[in-house]
Structure 1
């Protein structure tokens, strides 16, 4: 299956993950998105957030693993299931996305892109964006 965007995220607590998944499901009406979320330490989710634009895949890991191992589990899933996407992002489980993100994603993102992240409900950046000099196509 081909997607515009694949999100890989990990979850070690249910305190924020509902906001992440509901923000994607309720605000995405323009991109083919697949969310792969690794639930760790026995956590799971009983709410379905799939829509006609968004597919959610829940993976489980009974123990706590590092962020890089969790991401590798998601990447392994992508490869084993022959998923193809124009972009892959790794949002934290406490991230949220607004409608403008999905509506403007294709026109604003080129190649490897850093996306400015704002504190929720504000125009205040979470952190200052670094000035980068790229050396080549595969940054």
Structure 2
């Protein structure tokens, strides 16, 4: 089994806010992340796929095709967007990094070639905070 990772980058804004809670409870739980005027991050997205190498190309998957797929299915939907308002796969969910990573998985996994499996979505919100998601 070979693992291949592609790094992509995007910028997006969001806020953590539960509409069923009071402002005070949201502030107590989410702190500055509940800012009414949103806040932004420079996200680093690591997509790791796994499978067997094609003997004719020596590739698990052409990295240009992987990058194009990530751009089309994820980056175009989230880059320079408000995650709470603009991203269809986050509607009705808390816009946490955890939910974003799971949503990215579900956007990508069905579109990979048959011989390739998605292994991990690793999403850095900051240099010190990241989420790894390995599927359901």
Q: TM-score, normalised by structure 2?
A: 0.30
Asked which structure has the greater CA Rg, the reply is: 2
The structure that is strand-richer by fraction is: 2
Q: TM-score, normalised by structure 1?
A: 0.30
The structure that is helix-richer by fraction is: 2
